[in-house]
Structure 1
């Protein structure tokens, strides 16, 4: 029965987010794969918990609750019967401080200084191109760093970047997983990113024992919540 449960859980994870390019990495101890690319090292300049402003539809599995966490940390709390099952983190990173993404916009045909309607379908297509390049750089950098540093005890799988609506904007859903060679999931990360003309919004959650915030304690709870997170992202009040 336990083996059947693991097979079913594995099938759910693969169905919800097909695996893409694979890289090999070690089993982690205190060291973990960083979820955010270089741009995410910029300070999050939005004060207060932005989820209180942008959360429109708090969809959740039966018996679960979703709401902005108390306090100023940019966290969305997922709970059941008063117990926090996991959190979803959002970062807001101004374009003015992000030369890398400015270059990606230019490469996609949008000078960052231009006054454009970023909800125009033409520009949204170009923005998706820039976001895909941003995600691709993240995957490339991550793979090179870990391949150079570690051995072959964990298979790292990057998910194909998928265009998705995020509020009234177009964005990308992406992520990765670390699969133990001996079986089992070491970590799994699910992210959404979009751009409103002034800033990047990066939404992240994970199953990752090495993370402090933006994570679920149990892999099965993350698998259950993922389609609801997609629905939440679709209905965000963005741009706000």
Structure 2
């Protein structure tokens, strides 16, 4: 039974690894960004420059308490807002904390980079959000992809400087998804050790409601303080549930 369990987890991790990443590398490889205009990755440890997030104190408590919907859980697992004001969702099993998911809210008025992304995509600033318009949705997807692509480039450069090309980083292709009633994108990246095995894995969702960008993220990363899982296998189990959680959120607020 134990072997079957590990084979199942191995199949999940293999499916989640981006095309072109080898689990055993013959030599050190630099970080790779293929088609940076379309590929995006992020983590909350590297927030968008000049864009302060709205804190939970400003939102009067943990944001997850206001937006979390009803999502099924793996057997014996529990998803609930963490205690306190930090914008964290706690994932636990039998009273043991397995990991957390972080949400950050970035007002567009403080984000000149995303303002440019919107303008370049043909969405005037302060324009009304038309969730039913296919034209608006396509333009918004273009803007969101550009935003995460910029963040991806900055982040991978940071990782390249940190690891000196000793870890192979590869981005996941962005995927259109729902974040509550909002149009969103799922994206992330993985870092593979030269001897095999995962150094880091980050999974994120981003959406825009006309006034603010919502970034939802979690990871397997020993350097992260919050928004992470301590165990890679638990993150692999949780990953499909994160998309369901995002789709069920009560957004826009």
Which residue matches 1:38?
Answer: 48
Partner of 2:30, secondary structure, is: strand
CA–CA distance in structure 2, aligned partners of residues 235 and 142 of structure 1:
29
State the distance in 2 between where 1:182 and 1:4 align. 24
Corresponding residue number in structure 1 for 2:37: none
Is the alpha carbon distance of 1:116 and 1:83 closer, same or farther for their aligned partners in structure 2, counting shifts above 3 Å? closer
Normalised to the residue count of structure 2, the TM-score between the two structures is 0.83
- For structure 2, the residue ranges without an aligned partner over 5 or more in a row are 22-28, 32-42
Residues 118-154 of structure 1: CA distance to partner in whole angstroms, max 9, x if unpaired? 4533212211111111111122222333335543321
Secondary structure of 1:129's match?
Answer: helix
How far did residue 206 of structure 1 move?
Answer: 0.5
Listed one character per residue, the Cα deviations across residues 31-60 of structure 1 (whole Å, up to 9, x for unaligned) are xx8643424851324422111111112321
Number of residue-to-residue matches in the alignment: 232
RMSD of Structure 2 on Structure 1 (CA) = 2.4
Q: 1:124 to 1:211 in 2, by over 3 A?
A: same
CA distance in 2, matches of 1:20, 1:170: 26
Q: How far apart, CA to CA, are the structure 1 residues paired with 2:148 and 2:205?
A: 10
Is the Cα–Cα contact under 8 Å of residues 119 and 168 in structure 1 kept in the other structure?
A: no
After superposition, the Cα gap between the structure-2 partners of 1:13 and 1:89, relative to the gap in structure 1 and judged at 3 Å, is same
Matched residues in 1 for 2:71 and 2:50: separation?
25
Task: Tell me whether 1:155 sits opposite 2:165 in the alignment.
Answer: no
Aligned residue in 1 for 2:11 = 11
Query: Partner of 2:150 in structure 1?
Result: 137
CA distance in 2, matches of 1:180, 1:230: 27
Equivalent residue, structure 2, for 1:29: none
The list of structure 1 runs, each at least 4 consecutive aligned residues, that deviate by more than 6 angstroms after superposition, is 1-7
Give the aligned partner of residue 226 of structure 2: 213
Aligned with 1:24 (options 16, 22, 30): 30
Contact 1:128/1:171 (<8 A) preserved: yes
CA apart distance, 1:170:
1.0
Kindly tell me: are residues 40 and 193 of structure 1, through their superposed partners in 2, closer, same or farther at Cα, counting changes over 3 Å?
Answer: farther
